[in-house]
Amino acid sequence: MSAPDGKPWPSFTQAVCKTGLAASSRRMMVHRVESLRCYIRDGRAEFWAEWVCGGSTNRAVILTEADVEPLGGICSRCETAGWFMYRCRDNNGLLLYIGSSGNLYLRFKNHARNTPWWPDVADIEKVPYPSEAEARAAERHAILAESPLHNKQPAGRARSAA
């Protein structure tokens, strides 16, 4: 695919975009673009961008990474999109919980509503993985090796101090 004038499109994985709507808010919302389509309307090229965090816009403005910082950084949902293993520690460094998720933004919102010990969490370490299978495998191994306080232990490996 190339632009109407024959030049290649920008590198979409490096691109970020903002919407006219979000730019009017106090802190400009900048999203990472996951896919971008171009269509011609009234002889002008227009973009349809889908963001990593699941949103989309047909008012995409293409920015470079260098443009992002003055706008306040990228959207927190885009920032946490993708597969992660995460370790939760309290303010003494005690390992409370190890989990994995493909949507940390929603996962942490869910923890905040449903997890009784969530207020004890002082620090969350996030480790990215390229796939769900790799994130889940890393989570299983880490739980076995590190015995976090609030994870259920697999059968046969019951916590002696529980």
Residue 139, classified by CB atoms within 10 Å of its CB into exposed (0-12), middle (13-18) or buried (19+), is: buried
Rounded to a whole number of angstroms, the minimum distance from the CB of residue 31 to Zn ion is 3
Residue count at the site for Zn ion (CB under 5 A)?
Answer: 6
In the stretch 6-35, what mask flags binding to Zn ion with x, by CB under 5 A?
-------------------------x----
Rounded to a whole number of angstroms, the minimum distance from the CB of residue 18 to Zn ion is 10
Please check whether residue 95 is in contact with residue 143, taking contact to mean a CB–CB distance below 8 angstroms.
Answer: no
d(CA 28, CA 72): 7
Residue 15 tokens, joined: 């691109």
- Of 29 and 143, the one with the shorter C-beta distance to Zn ion is 29
Residue 115 tokens, joined: 């997890």
Could you tell me where the DSSP H helices lie in 46-124? 65-68, 76-79, 104-114
In the stretch 52-91, what mask flags binding to Zn ion with x, by CB under 5 A?
-x---------------------x-xx-------------
Binding site for Zn ion (CB under 5 A): 31, 51, 53, 75, 77-78
